Amino acid sequence: MTTVAAPRPRRRDREADDSGVRARRWFTPWLLIAPGGLWLLIFFVIPLFSLGRLSLQDGGFSNYPQVISDNSTVIIRTFVYATCATVAAVIIGYPLAYVIATKGGRFKNLLLALVVLPFFVTYLVRTLSWKILMFDGGPVVGVLHSLGILSENQGVLGSPFAVVAALTYNFLPFMVLPIYVSLEKLDRRLLEAAADLYSSPARAFRKVTLPLSLPGLFAGTLLTFIPAAGDFVNSELLGSERTVMIGNIIEKNFGKEFFRPELSALSFMLMAIILVGVIIYARILGTEDIA
């Protein structure tokens, strides 16, 4: 996961990673790599090609415009939900990571343990527990009623809000942990220097802390956005027909007619959009100076 963290590793870092000695016998490293490498080749790389080929069956490249126009609402909805969940995760996760990293003191490890605690309960059960929390008469609905956001007879389940909230929850630890790591590494003397040079704390945060935590923010954003965009569990358990995402379409059809080229085109498109997004995002964060 740490490999994702650096949008553009500095030359020196990369060399440190790749150091190592020439093996006494040239084939030693290859022998070590062979079992796992072949596994990845056969069950990861080749299937991607098989998926790509399948997506071009029958209609060729015209499958793609077809799939996009057939599912345009769902595609847009998927990326809107994933974006909302990611933004919400930043808003909740960054301050949390900041407090743990800079003010955690001796409770740091305990607080981190609380952040990863959700992983000790299966994903599906966690999501079902959200269903309990958001059930009519439950605490979430109660709070929204008393705040006047919902009228008396309205519920939350089935709404986009329920799906986005659960997506945010499920992938929030992936946002907090990388940000925590980058804030933890931050050299506190830089902040002292900023204060000595008459910078206000807010300005020091903007000029020092934030730029130096960008790699963590970058990794966290990807680790939240990617699984959120491909998810179908939250929409199925907490949503309704109004909240169908790309994943739900694949989930609904893979058993019956999964050889359908359209379904392959849909998954390939999901992957392609995410990969292109990742590259653009890496470019922006890697080159532009955030001032």
Partner 1 sequence: MNPPNWLRAVGRVSLWVWAALGLAFLFAPILVTVVYSFNEPEGKYNYVWNRFSLAGWTDPFKYPELTDALVFSLKIAVVVTILSTLFGTLIGLAMVKYRFRAKGLLGAILVLPLTMPEVVLGFSLLTLFVAVNWSRGFITIVIAQVMFSISYVATTVRARIRGFDWRLEEASLDLGASPVRTFTRVTLPLIAPGVIAAALLTFALSLDDFIITYLNSGLDSTFPIQIWNMKRSKIPVQINVFSTALLVISIAIALLLVVTNNRRARRLAVGS
Question: Which one of 258, 280, 283, 284 is in contact with partner 1 (CB under 8 A)?
Answer: 258
User: Shortest gap between Cβ of 276 and partner 1 (angstroms)?
Assistant: 12
Residues 216-245 that bind partner 1 (CB under 8 A): 222, 226-227, 229-233, 237
| Contact call for residue 37 and partner 1 (CB under 8 A) | yes
Segment contacting partner 1 by CB under 8 A, of 147-155, 181-189, 208-216, 273-281: 273-281
Whichever of 40 and 290 has its CB closer to partner 1, that residue is 40
User: Shortest gap between Cβ of 73 and partner 1 (angstroms)?
Assistant: 18
171 vs 115: CA distance, rounded Å: 11
User: Shortest gap between Cβ of 288 and partner 1 (angstroms)?
Assistant: 21
| Contact call for residue 107 and partner 1 (CB under 8 A) | no
| Contact call for residue 214 and partner 1 (CB under 8 A) | no
Sign, Cα dihedral of 268, 274, 277, 283: negative
| Contact call for residue 172 and partner 1 (CB under 8 A) | yes
Q: Buried b vs exposed e over 176-193: b needs ≥16 C-beta within 10 Å? A: bbbbbbbbbebeeeebee
Cβ atoms 216, 183 nearer than 8 A: yes
172 vs 93: CA distance, rounded Å: 7
| Contact call for residue 113 and partner 1 (CB under 8 A) | yes
Q: Where are the alpha helices (DSSP H) in 154-209?
A: 160-185, 188-196, 201-204
| Contact call for residue 184 and partner 1 (CB under 8 A) | no
Residues 10-29 that bind partner 1 (CB under 8 A): 17-23, 26, 28-29
Chain center to CA of 76: 17
Sign, Cα dihedral of 160, 221, 189, 287: negative
Task: Pick left, alpha or beta for residue 20 (phi over 0 → left; psi -120 to 50 → alpha; otherwise beta).
Answer: left
Whichever of 190 and 271 has its CB closer to partner 1, that residue is 271
Tokens representing residue 271 in the block? 């992957």
Beta-carbon neighbour count of residue 167 at 10 Å?
29
Residues 121-150 that bind partner 1 (CB under 8 A): 121-126, 128-133, 135, 137-138
User: Shortest gap between Cβ of 95 and partner 1 (angstroms)?
Assistant: 5
Segment contacting partner 1 by CB under 8 A, of 60-68, 115-123, 141-149, 186-194: 115-123
